[in-house]
Amino acid sequence: MSRREGGLLAVILVLLASIAIGIVVTSPQVPTNSGPLPTATSAADVLREGVVGSITTLDPLYATNPAEHDADALLFRGLTRLGDDGTAEPDLAASWTNSADGRTWTFQLRDDVTWDDGEPITADDVTFTFLTLKHPDYDGPLIHAWSDAAVERLGRFEVRFTLGTALASFLTAATQPIVPAHVLAGTPVASRRTAAFGTAPVGSGPFRLAGLGKDVAHLVRVGTPPAGGQPALLPTDPAASPTPTPAGFPSADLPGIDLYTFATPEAAAAAFRAGDLDAVGGLPPSAVAGLAGLPGVRRVVYPTTVLTAVIFNLRNTGSPFRDVRVRRAFLAAIDRPGIVATVLGGGGTPADVPIAPSSPFYDPGPTAPQRYDPAAAASLLSAAGWKLSGAVWNAPKGVVGARFDVLTLDAATNPTLNAVAKRVVADWASFGVAADLTGLGAAELFEGRLLPHEFDVAIIDMNLGSDPDLYPLLASGQAALGGTNLAGYQSAKLDKLLVAARAPADLETRVARFATLQASLLTELPFLSLYFAERVELVRDRLVGPVPRQIAFGSERYGDVLTWRLAGTPAP
């Protein structure tokens, strides 16, 4: 993962943050469930969960929406997995070592795990997976993510990665699902997107696919045949393939999970209200508020790594925002707690720095957060040379009203972000600073305006990930045209701290480095952090087990799925 290409992936995640987490999704082309939902294998034993999106493929190298990512998280494993504290733990890998320069990672694989068809999982599968992602014919969503990572097989259960840049976050990236070489090696990469594997995958996770319908994926516990026989809806005979339980991995308590897909949040909410679902998530705040009070329903709240932020274009030497006092004043004029309470329905945490409070790298001690304080904002602007004329602030050099443009996503693409941006602009207007808000489609905003640096101010979502690498967003070298430092902020001092924070080290050392970086971010304030979003999963009381944990993507909520069970059903 090169600094430029890895940074490009980071910007793509900025664009896709709300979709990946499942906060809100609009997919008008997806068929909507209508009428009664298809009958599950055994309604008493199967968890019925609703997700917004569609399932076109279950090949994890081509998954693009929450429904596909959710299913793949249950069907496949990576070299690592994320633990309860958000740090990487062994999964298919038994252990790993890192070279002194931090660029070479060597993984020892477990030798006691198999694919669903009974074949062993080996280094051949790992190298095949990542060479596919680097293949010139690969056209999936991860096309740039692994361009600067070399992979080689050292032995049957040993594999080595060599990176162009030392990255501690590589262990988080190693959660990438691995696919079976013995099944896919004969399929040309150019044909993978439409290959049969996408609808009949051979996986390694705690569940396997029993069948795939138009609006539902039936997953059954590995090692356990589906109870009650085969639904007529499904084309696949689950008895046709072996279902060994991989040695060394505990079996899931749930006999099965039926993932129902919906075109809109409204359709998913209606199915949950009707009692057709046991769980649903990724709904907008208005829908959550209308369902959370139903009898026997509770909220499971997952803090996320999706940050909503105000980005100033600081490249113009005449920009008033180059003065940190002005940036701090504009932050003090935003009622962030009020936005979280009203626009988000309480589904977020006000942020002071781009490191989530739920992250193991967040330092709660020395922070001096900027509160909502219009009086303090006025003092800061006055100190920066602004003049108050009546109820309007005038920037230095007589720029009356200091009017500027604010860009964000339009309401059709992301209604929550658009509503937040309107509230921010309204707070500034009531303070005496006028701005023109424009909502754009995703491609027009990011490719047409932000990346070419054609903007004054932007309000966007950024998914910073479980191991927050802020280098792509703030490094001076990424401020040039084509780079991913959207603000154009440049600081030699900050550059050194960014490099240190992303370098591999033991957890204690990295926490200390992030504390130093955090203190600098509070002082320099390169952009305004508004809040970190939360994902709310609504579950009925019959589901026992989900425990809140920090997630970067909605599918990471399955991190403790092995402990989930349905009330009144015995563990396997």
For every one of its 572 residues, what pLDDT tens digit does the chain have, with 9 covering 90 and above?
333 334 333 333 443 333 334 333 233 222 333 333 444 345 568 999 999 999 999 999 999 999 999 999 999 999 999 998 888 999 999 999 999 999 999 999 999 999 999 999 999 999 999 999 999 999 999 998 898 899 999 999 999 999 999 999 999 999 999 999 999 999 999 999 999 999 999 999 999 999 999 999 999 998 644 333 332 222 223 333 333 345 557 888 899 999 999 999 999 999 999 999 999 998 988 889 889 889 999 999 999 999 999 999 999 888 889 999 999 999 999 999 999 999 999 999 999 999 999 999 999 886 667 899 999 999 999 999 999 988 899 888 755 455 789 999 999 999 999 999 999 999 999 999 989 999 999 999 999 999 999 999 999 999 999 999 999 999 999 998 878 999 999 999 999 999 999 999 999 999 999 999 999 999 999 999 999 999 999 999 999 989 999 999 999 999 999 999 998 766 55
- Sign of the Cα torsion 444, 142, 246, 229 reads positive
pLDDT of residue 39: 41
| SS3 assignment, position 543 | strand
Distance, CA of 111 to chain centre:
31
Phi, psi at residue 121, to the nearest 5°?
A: -90, 120
Full DSSP string of 470-514: -HHHH-GGG-STTSS-TT----HHHHHHHHHHHS---HHHHHHHH
CB within 8 Å of 241: residues ≥ 6 apart: 116, 117, 202, 208
Partnered with residue 543 across adjacent β-strands are: 566
Distance CA 302, CA 554 (A): 9
Whole-number Cα distances in Å, 393 to 388, 528, 562: 4, 20, 57
Cα–Cα dist 199/189, whole Å? 16
Q: Which residues contact 519 (CB under 8 A, 6 or more apart)?
A: 363, 366
Helix, strand and coil content of the chain, in percent to the nearest 5, comes to 30, 20, 45
Residue 524: the pLDDT is 95
What domains can you pick out in the chain, each with its CATH number?
25-51+206-281+542-572 (3.40.190), 77-204 (3.90.76.10), 302-533 (3.10.105.10)
Cβ neighbors of 53 (< 8 A, separation 6 or more) are 25, 27, 30, 65, 66, 67, 68, 261, 262
**β-strand partners of 109:** 93
Sequence-distant (6+) residues with CB within 8 A of 389 are: 400
How far apart CA 565 and CA 548 sit, in angstroms, is 16
Show the tokens assigned to 197.
């594997």
d(CA 459, CA 421): 6
Tokens of 437: 């808000």
At residue 322, what is the residue type?
A: R
| Cβ atoms within 10 Å, residue 139 | 12
Cβ atoms of 116 and 202 within 8 Å: the answer is: yes
Per-residue burial over 68-83, b if 16 or more Cβ lie within 10 Å, else e, is: bbbbbbbbbbbbbbbe
Helices 374-383, 324-332: inter-axial angle, 10-degree rounding:
160
Whether residue 300 contacts residue 546, with contact meaning beta carbons closer than 8 Å, is answered with: yes
